[in-house]
Amino acid sequence: MNNDSTRRRFLQVTTGGLVVSSALTSPDTRVAGATEKVKRVTSGTGDVLRTTGVLSDDGKAIFESERPIPVVGKSDVLICGAGPAGIAAALAAARAGASVQLIEVAGCLGGIWTVGLLTKILDAGNKRGIMMELLKKFTARGSQVAVDSNGTVYDPEVAKLVLEEVCIEAGVKIRLHTRAVGAVLNDDQRLVAVLTESKSGREAWLAERFIDCSGDGDLAAHAGCQFEVGTGSECVCQPMSMLALLTGLDPDQVRPWIRETGSTAKKRLLELMEKHGINPSYRAPTLRHLHSNIFSLMTNHEYGVSAFDADAITAATLRARREIHEIVQGLQRVGGPWKNITVVATAEQIGIREGRRVRGRYTLTASDLASGLSHKQAVCKATFPIDVHALNNTGNKEINREFKTDGMQPYDIPYPALVAADVDGLLMAGRCISGDFIAHSSYRVTGNAVPMGEAAGLAAALSIKQRVMPHKLTWMAPAP
């Protein structure tokens, strides 16, 4: 990595030959007094949940007591995060014969595709494999639009169902509502277990191989991998955006403002908004038509919010949701074709463009994009341009031209960028792979996340069969 100052490590505590690292996500506790044992007891069901710990003298931390954590799962491959990358990883590993455990914190599969209400898959056109399979399935299940997008504009609700069906059919074990909060390494720096928190309490899951598809690189960070965030020494990240589904519009009447009808549609929508005193925080408001009279809208930017600051994300979420409703109310006042516009749903999860970029055995850089990298272990060919949204509301342009580099060529995403450099047995796929700020702004889109997941899942399964760690795998992904 280029900048040592951006490297961070989670606290690691050695216990009984294993290195355990854990985010401080202990259950809710009631503090009875300094240095006093802390207990939490639930009543009513007969179950008793009890956590003990010691409050530090300065009152700023609680030291949890050692406690046994039940091992509840054992699989060949464990995947953390069920977004586009995680789904593809799970399918590929399962279809290659591995037993697969998929762990997801949300209440459905799909990540940004579903929980984030994305509705558009970019850079999918040149992909085959699981990406094409899913597009066909989305289309076949009614996720079709007036302007034919070959399934790349899809209905998130259709996606939820399709993803569950394909994973169940492939034999993937799914655990929803469960967050990875820790990692266990053996003495050889090999990841051997993941710790989770859920309504079932704190649990441990063993596996031969792990794939971090959490988008934010949570599992890799818990395992002690080095990573980068944003542009460099401080977290100057791409903005977050909340998306929404809308109804109450006639597709024929609002056609000029629908993104799929042409690149000027966004400008036209902004002009309409500004003319009526609506000033969206994202200056390239994007209206998509999904099918019937269901639409999606992206018109929000939340600047400078760290993906690792729950208070900041909470504040951004509340602001963004309020802004969407205010904008829709403003459009209702425009009248005409807009008078019945209504919010169907805002995303439960605000869209996070940037989390950790975990250090891998290859780091994709801006110069790889400029030269159109060709790599013998190519996972896929990325063609999506460098796309850095405004980093603050000064100017507030759609794309931050400051970061545009001339002559970006289609480039290969190399398999070693998916293999963790600091820990064995761990792969990454999706937006948390190894790359610099500029490269990430291109490869992060979901038409690339899916083939990355497919390659990581296959590599995990093959590396078990070949009895080698993923970085020693004698395997080359067929580049679509």
Ligand X SMILES: Cc1cc2nc3c(=O)[nH]c(=O)nc-3n(C[C@H](O)[C@H](O)[C@H](O)COP(=O)(O)OP(=O)(O)OC[C@H]3O[C@@H](n4cnc5c(N)ncnc54)[C@H](O)[C@@H]3O)c2cc1C
Scanning 31-39, 113-121, 335-343, 369-377 for contacts with ligand X by CB under 6 A, the matching segment is 113-121
197 binding ligand X? (CB under 6 A): no
- Which pair of structure tokens corresponds to residue 306? 């760290």
Scanning 56-64, 114-122, 199-207, 399-407 for contacts with ligand X by CB under 6 A, the matching segment is 114-122
With contact defined as beta carbons under 8 Å apart, do 447 and 88 qualify? no
From 186, 202, 178, 218, select the one nearest 66 (Cα to Cα): 202
Chain positions 157 to 186 lying near ligand X, rule: CB under 6 A, are: 179-180
As a whole number of angstroms, the distance between CA 85 and CA 452 comes to 6
As a whole number of angstroms, the distance between CA 355 and CA 435 comes to 12
Residue with tokens 């390239």: 284
104 binding ligand X? (CB under 6 A): yes
457 binding ligand X? (CB under 6 A): no
Residue with tokens 């341009």: 385
- Phi (first) and psi of residue 290, to 5 degrees: -90, -55
Nearer to ligand X, 162 or 213 (CB): 213
Q: Which of 163, 413, 426, 449 binds ligand X (CB under 6 A)?
A: 449
Query: 391: helix, coil or strand?
Result: coil
Q: Which of 79, 94, 103, 316 binds ligand X (CB under 6 A)?
A: 103
Chain positions 327 to 366 lying near ligand X, rule: CB under 6 A, are: 351-353
Nearer to ligand X, 54 or 192 (CB): 192
Q: Angle at the Cα of 118 (from 286 to 116), degrees rounded to 5?
A: 125
As a whole number of angstroms, the distance between CA 142 and CA 291 comes to 8
Nearer to ligand X, 80 or 305 (CB): 80
Residue with tokens 């050889």: 188
- DSSP for residue 28: P
One character per residue 273-312, x = contact with ligand X (rule: CB under 6 A): ----------------------------------------
# chain residues binding ligand X, by CB under 6 A: 36
Q: Which of 213, 327, 341, 391 binds ligand X (CB under 6 A)?
A: 213
Q: How far is the CB of 357 from ligand X (least distance, A)?
A: 11
Tell me whether strands 100-103 and 173-175 are parallel, antiparallel or unpaired. Answer: parallel
Nearer to ligand X, 215 or 414 (CB): 215
From 188, 212, 193, select the one nearest 203 (Cα to Cα): 193
Q: Which amino acid is at 75?
A: S
258 binding ligand X? (CB under 6 A): no
Q: Which of 101, 214, 346, 400 binds ligand X (CB under 6 A)?
A: 214
122 binding ligand X? (CB under 6 A): yes
Q: Which of 19, 38, 51, 83 binds ligand X (CB under 6 A)?
A: 83
Q: Which of 53, 73, 81, 337 binds ligand X (CB under 6 A)?
A: 81
As a whole number of angstroms, the distance between CA 250 and CA 241 comes to 25
- Counting every residue written for the chain, the total comes to 480
- CA 394 to chain CA centroid, Å, is 27
Q: Which of 53, 55, 98, 120 binds ligand X (CB under 6 A)?
A: 120
What are the angstrom distances between the C-alpha of 39 and each of 53, 54, 63?
8, 10, 13
156 binding ligand X? (CB under 6 A): no
Cβ neighbours of residue 467 closer than 8 Å, sequence gap 6 or more: none
Q: How far is the CB of 431 from ligand X (least distance, A)?
A: 4
430 binding ligand X? (CB under 6 A): yes
Nearer to ligand X, 38 or 245 (CB): 245
As a whole number of angstroms, the distance between CA 445 and CA 216 comes to 14
Nearer to ligand X, 87 or 96 (CB): 87
Q: Which residues bind ligand X (CB under 6 A)?
A: 80-86, 103-106, 111-112, 115, 118, 120-122, 179-180, 213-216, 218, 241, 351-353, 430-431, 444-447, 449
